[in-house]
Chain A
């Protein structure tokens, strides 16, 4: 096992990554900073439990995820986010005919994985994420960024599974459409 100072330096070097990780979910620089700080303190306090683990970043990210969820729980107590109505009018009426079939079929994206090599694509993706309604974005990021199961998301956001699936569906359809317009359709 490397000396403790060595691990401290390595942990410090990972701070930018951890900050970015937290900022994506929390959308609030101060809250992200706090979550990272709490995670690093917890990590240093529990240094011994890192012994023998393969990947420092994975270990720290795991601790950070818990701190992020704590922050969301605190946010939930202060009603900062407007509640999006569960029976909001279906945003996708324009996409489908009255009979439920496509009014305009989604376009082909060719080889989209090529986009994953381009930093600019991720700027476009982030811009699309920012356009999502706050609670929808939060649920989507908990699922696809933090990798939480739907049951955990329901518990943290105090919503039903059905509501959760509706929000995730809306997020995916909106992001798909946004990327079509700002990236793949160009």
Chain B
């Protein structure tokens, strides 16, 4: 199964919310290996998760 970038970004997002099936993980890995745009999207979504964890802390320090 060849994923498009649009499908890949959806799966990357779902991977943060549920366990992906084996076939999904393989397809994702194949696509990410060749697509820098989707690799960046993945990194940025993971960064977003880290940033959300800090959000409640940092604002108090600043104010």
B30 contacts the other chain (CB 8 A) = no
Interface size class of B (residues with CB under 8 A): 20 to 34
Chain A facing B: main interface SS: helix
Q: Which residue of A lies closest to B14 (CB)?
A: A165
Residues of B within 8 A of A102 (CB): 5, 37-38
Residues of B within 8 A of A30 (CB): none
- The answer to whether B4 touches A99, judged by C-beta atoms less than 8 angstroms apart, is yes
* A77–B51 alpha-carbon span in the complex (Å): 31
- The answer to whether A116 touches B7, judged by C-beta atoms less than 8 angstroms apart, is no
A79 contacts the other chain (CB 8 A) = no
Q: Which of A156-183 contact B (CB under 8 A)?
A: 161, 164-165, 168-169, 172-173, 175-176, 179
Interface size class of A (residues with CB under 8 A): 35 or more
- A92-B6, A102-B5, A176-B44 given; A116·B58 CB < 8 A: yes
Stretch at the interface among A3-11, A14-22, A33-41, A47-55: A14-22
Chain B residues near A (Cβ < 8 Å) = 4-7, 9-10, 13-14, 16-18, 36-38, 40-41, 43-45, 47-56, 58-62
Chain A residues near B (Cβ < 8 Å) = 16-17, 20-21, 24, 92, 95-96, 99-102, 105-109, 112-113, 115-116, 119, 121-122, 125-126, 143-145, 150, 161, 164-165, 168-169, 172-173, 175-176, 179
